[in-house]
Amino acid sequence: LVSRENHDSRSVVNVRGVPIGGEHMTLIAGPCAVETPDQTLEAALMAKAAGAALLRGGAYKPRTSPYAFQGLGEAGLKILADVRDQTGLPIVTEVVDAGDVELVASYADMLQIGTRNMQNFALLQAAGDAGKPVLLKRGMSATIEEWLMAAEYIAQRGNLDIVLCERGIRTFEKATRNTLDIAAVPVAQNLSHLPVIVDPSHSGGKRDLVLPLSRAAIGVGADGVIVDVHPTPETALCDGPQALVGDDIQELADAVSSMSKLL
């Protein structure tokens, strides 16, 4: 269902009126985690001012350590919905448990399945049933074929509104948080009709890498980028070192629009 065979053209996924895929490069930005109403609104306004079309933000955080901030849960979803009302930005947010899909889908415009859950088949099926577009991140140790098979689990439930997201894979290299597999973008685009975007924040893990990795993503023809922004990354409860601040996000947006025009 997700394979390029039998599909004449590449798909465009519509998220509350915002297209992902097709002619345009979509910028998605927002805080890694929803922390407070003010922090989320400020991050959303930064994202919107830079031309982001969608707001990202986690209310359910899949953290490596059980002692790390786990997200605000439904309270975070309510904050996101309020910020959507204030800014007009549709929201994409992660769901980590099949039992939460209905609740998260009642607030979200797009469901995110994170790297750690790419092969959580019950979650994929529940997301496929939820009637909302799905952003499917690549598992950090998954092959491209396994990633596409994970997308197939969603598609099999009758939901073809799936966007693939390359977010870096595990390699021996320690200088970056994950190794951005940039070749995965054209490979996945050749094998599948689904749009493919890149997360330079979770792959590089460092603010300074977000712009160059975004340029690489645009250069290989990604359908969009999803980046972390935070008004005060030094106080962030999750992934502050990779969050863009103030002028960074504008610089990124300018690179996205100028490079997209060249291609």
Binds ligand PEP (CB under 6 A): choice among 115, 120, 159, 214: 115
Please give the Cα distance from 50 to 10 (Å, whole number): 27
- For the CB of residue 112, give the shortest distance to ligand PEP in the complex, in Å: 6
- Residue among 58 and 76 whose Cβ is closer to ligand PEP: 58
**Quick check: 58 binds ligand PEP (CB under 6 A)?**
yes
- Residue among 166 and 248 whose Cβ is closer to ligand PEP: 166
- Say which amino acid occupies 190: N
Cβ(28)–Cβ(54) below 8 Å: yes
- For the CB of residue 29, give the shortest distance to ligand PEP in the complex, in Å: 12
- Residue among 1 and 117 whose Cβ is closer to ligand PEP: 117
Place of tokens 């990779």: 242
Query: In this structure, how many other beta carbons lie within 10 angstroms of the beta carbon of residue 258?
Result: 10
Cβ(111)–Cβ(124) below 8 Å: no
- Residue among 51 and 62 whose Cβ is closer to ligand PEP: 62
Near ligand PEP in 218-237, by CB under 6 A? none
φ, ψ (nearest 5 deg) of residue 128: -65, -25
Binds ligand PEP (CB under 6 A): choice among 48, 84, 132, 137: 137
DSSP 240: G
Cβ(225)–Cβ(29) below 8 Å: no
- For the CB of residue 194, give the shortest distance to ligand PEP in the complex, in Å: 17
Among all residues, whose Cβ is closest to ligand PEP? Answer: 114
- For the CB of residue 13, give the shortest distance to ligand PEP in the complex, in Å: 17
CA dihedral 65, 68, 70, 72 (to 10 degrees): 180
**Quick check: 48 binds ligand PEP (CB under 6 A)?**
no
**Quick check: 114 binds ligand PEP (CB under 6 A)?**
yes
Binds ligand PEP (CB under 6 A): choice among 13, 29, 32, 256: 32
Query: In this structure, how many other beta carbons lie within 10 angstroms of the beta carbon of residue 64?
Result: 7
Size of the site for ligand PEP (CB under 6 A): 10
- Residue among 135 and 253 whose Cβ is closer to ligand PEP: 135
- For the CB of residue 227, give the shortest distance to ligand PEP in the complex, in Å: 10
Cβ(68)–Cβ(35) below 8 Å: no
- Say which amino acid occupies 193: H
Please give the Cα distance from 140 to 145 (Å, whole number): 13
Show the CA angle centred on residue 201, arms to residues 154 and 126, nearest 5°.
15
- Residue among 32 and 164 whose Cβ is closer to ligand PEP: 32
Please give the Cα distance from 127 to 134 (Å, whole number): 7
**Quick check: 167 binds ligand PEP (CB under 6 A)?**
yes
- Looking at the DSSP assignment, which residues form a beta bridge with residue 111? 93, 134
Which stretches of the chain bind ligand PEP, using CB under 6 A? 32, 58, 62, 94, 114-115, 137, 167, 199, 202
